[in-house]
Amino acid sequence: MREKKLSFTDLLNKVHDAIERMSDPRKASNATAYSLSDAVLGAFAVFFMQCESFLEHQRQMQSRRGQDNAQTLFGLVRVPTNNQIKNILDAIPAEMLFGIFVWVFQTLRQCGVLQAYESVNQNLLVALDGTEYFSSQKLCCEQCSSRTHKNGSVTHFHSAILPVIVAPGKEHVIALAPEFITPQDGSVKQDCEQVAAKRWVRAHAGEFTGMAVTLLGDDLYSRQPLCELSLQQGFNFIFVCLPESHPALYEWLEYLDANGEVQTFEQIQGQGRNRTLFTYRFVNQIPLRETQPALSVNWCEVTITKVADGSITYRNAFITQHQITPNSVPEVVAAGRARWKAENESHNVLKTKGYHLEHNFGHGKRHLAMILLTLNLLAFLFHTVLHLLDSPYQQIRKQRGTRKGFFNDIQALTKYFIFESWQQLIAFMLSDSEPRMSINTS
């Protein structure tokens, strides 16, 4: 097992490696004053620094001092304008960057970090959940989905499944490669989250070889075709299962309950007025649907009640292939509930904590919206990895307190000082010493 260490330099080198494998889409006769590398790294730098003005600040610094932090921190040779970046990236498929997610995952696995994320039967939990990241009634491209409103207006939008590794009690989620929900060649139907989830399962199952993995998802995922595909590809699942979408399964439950075959288990958690009663109901081997052949699944339900006043604070039900017993049902339910971390610790963070997921950074005509989303996700992933494995980064984040305060500091510092490296920037923030790099102020 490797020592638990992974630096910003290690992470950024993988971005450089991915860029080297890209083919420049521009014809040789076109003006190529800015390299493909400058365009990709420039966009990534904006997301990583959480500052839309970062490149403009560095252009100004370059004109004053002959150097800038886009060069020293990220490896740009020249700083392109926003329009130049968008024009270049629009022709680059986002999938060219997916290998970085795989490398980070495998490295975290080798470092032993993922052991802390194991849950039911030592399974990793991968939450699948879709979200929109662009919408407009004016702009559209071949990759857009669309919805028509009652008044006849049409909204064009981009959406994607953003899978993350989660665990009960773990604050940080680990982002995996996305799956874009886009019109598919040869299909007359508009793409949807269920179909995209099947593509993700098929495309990424091989990355988890030798590992036990359980997929998490809301009620949209608890349909037999996706459940069967998950099992075929080596995944278990814990999916929400509601009565309105599974009437045949709940008819069976009523019959079994009337005959005393649905087991109940209760557990008190908390102390004093904070005590809560967890009431679990479960049964194994029940048909998922009426149509034959029907997959047999294990079902469980949890109801959480405040002991003080008897009010119900939570109720949900799940299906799985994990065997359910009085000993295992709390862990299965806790894992199923952890799917909310895909919304709370991933989507909401990306939308409200500086990544501005829903902001229109650029739409383009082909790939721009998708590659910009992917670079934003990589910035999110890199920040997570540094928080987990980089001691100086952990120290400054703890010292600075808030995420917003930390990024405000690095934005201000890199606007006025040049740093030799990311490590030097963090060291300066920790020590308050003057940057060692000589600065030409003439």
Residue 241's nearest CA partner among 189, 184, 300, 185 is 300
Q: What is the side-by-side order of every strand in the sheet holding 276-287?
A: 174-175, 164-166, 124-127, 213-217, 235-240, 312-320, 296-306, 276-287, 263-269
Q: Which residue has the tokens 């009620």?
A: 219
Q: Which residue has the tokens 């407009």?
A: 136
User: What is the per-residue pLDDT for 429?
Assistant: 94
User: What is the per-residue pLDDT for 90?
Assistant: 95
| Six-digit token string for 231 | 């099992």
Task: State yes or no: cis peptide before 293, omega within 30 of 0.
Answer: yes
Identify the three-state secondary structure at position 280: strand
- pLDDT tens track of the chain, all 442 residues? 455 678 999 999 999 999 999 999 887 655 567 899 999 999 999 999 999 999 999 999 999 999 999 999 999 999 999 999 999 999 999 999 999 999 999 999 999 999 999 999 999 999 999 999 988 888 888 888 888 888 988 988 899 999 999 999 999 999 999 999 987 755 546 689 999 999 999 999 999 999 999 999 999 999 999 999 999 999 999 999 999 999 999 999 999 999 999 999 999 999 888 899 999 999 999 999 999 999 999 999 999 999 999 999 999 999 999 999 999 999 999 999 999 999 999 999 999 999 999 888 888 999 999 999 999 999 999 999 999 999 999 999 999 888 899 999 999 999 999 999 999 999 999 986 665 554 444 3
Measured between alpha carbons, how far is 370 from 165 in angstroms, rounded to an integer?
A: 21
User: What is the per-residue pLDDT for 273?
Assistant: 84
User: What is the per-residue pLDDT for 436?
Assistant: 57
User: What is the per-residue pLDDT for 437?
Assistant: 52
Instruction: Report which residue type is found at 308.
Output: A
Which residues pair with residue 281 across a beta bridge? 264, 301
Measured between alpha carbons, how far is 174 from 197 in angstroms, rounded to an integer?
A: 18
Residue 328's nearest CA partner among 117, 116, 121 is 121
User: What is the per-residue pLDDT for 188?
Assistant: 46
